[in-house]
Amino acid sequence: MSLTPDLFDATGADRAGKLGLTYLPGFALPFEQELLAGINRIAAAAPLRHMLTPGGQRMSAAMTNSGEVGWVTDRKGYRYDRLDPERLQPWPPLPEPFVRLAALAAREAGFTFRPDVCLINRYEPGARMSLHQDRDERDFSAPIVSVSLGLGATFLFGGLKRSDRPHRLPLVHGDVLVWGGANRLAYHGVAPLADGQHPTVGRVRFNLTMRKAL
Ligand code: MD6
Ligand code: FE
């Protein structure tokens, strides 16, 4: 059985570069302890919370941020904000190991990259993320580096139209995705999280997305 999902060849690069997505299985494992310590430190300062969509729905994933700005949503819309609206304070600083990991992963995909924000998503069993585009950043030529920790999940990777049928990509603890280029604006999401127990992280999945928002 192949260890890489069928979208990808043995190098983890998508076929013919068409997806604009690079899959780096286990790439974050050497950073595991620094990432988990960073998440705990950030969440202690800026608590994870279930934000409200502009349509008035509570998100099932809890979120917080670190960096110069943070991604937020409420009745007023989706945006990046220098202040945490819950605390009216700046977000905690982006830990240096996060920046280092993002730069190393992006380099594997051919990008020079320095993120200015890390959005942290926490999923409990049953939580999901519906299909969306990431388009609140100023410069779509910068990639996004995405890190999965804890329970595994099925990532849904669609096309440039919401109606394009998504590919299903299983992601586990330590996996990294780098996106950029042609499919930077592709629709994507996460299927409802199955129940389970991860030996170091517990009954939860974290996703870190490092971005250049400014
Ligand atoms: C998640 N990720 O994996 C949700 N967005 O929990 C995202 O929405 C995402 O992984 C942009 C770039 C990479 C991602
Ligand atoms: Fe996204």
Residue nearest to atom 11 of ligand 1 (CA): 134
Contacts (Cβ under 8 Å, ≥6 apart) of 42: 64, 65, 66, 92, 95, 118, 120
User: 212 or 19, which is more confident?
Assistant: 212
Which pTM does this prediction carry? 0.94
Query: 152 pLDDT exceeds 60?
Result: yes
Residue ranges around ligand 1 (CB below 6 Å): 121, 129, 134, 144, 146, 155, 177, 179, 188, 190, 207, 209
Query: 2 pLDDT exceeds 60?
Result: no
User: 179 or 17, which is more confident?
Assistant: 179
Q: List pLDDT tens digits, range 33-68.
A: 999 999 999 999 999 999 999 999 999 999 999 999
Residue nearest to atom 8 of ligand 1 (CA): 189
Mean pLDDT rounded to a whole number for the chain: 93
Q: Which of 178, 188, 206 to mutate to test the pocket of ligand 1 (most atoms within 8 A of CB)?
A: 188
Q: How many C-beta neighbours within 10 Å does residue 150 have?
A: 25
pLDDT band at 11 (very low <50, low <70, confident <90, very high): low
pLDDT score at 21:
87
- Whole-angstrom distance, CA of residue 158 vs CA of residue 185: 10
Q: Which of 22, 146, 175 to mutate to test the pocket of ligand 1 (most atoms within 8 A of CB)?
A: 146
- Whole-angstrom distance, CA of residue 14 vs CA of residue 166: 15
| Separation of CA 135 and ligand 2 centre (Å) | 9
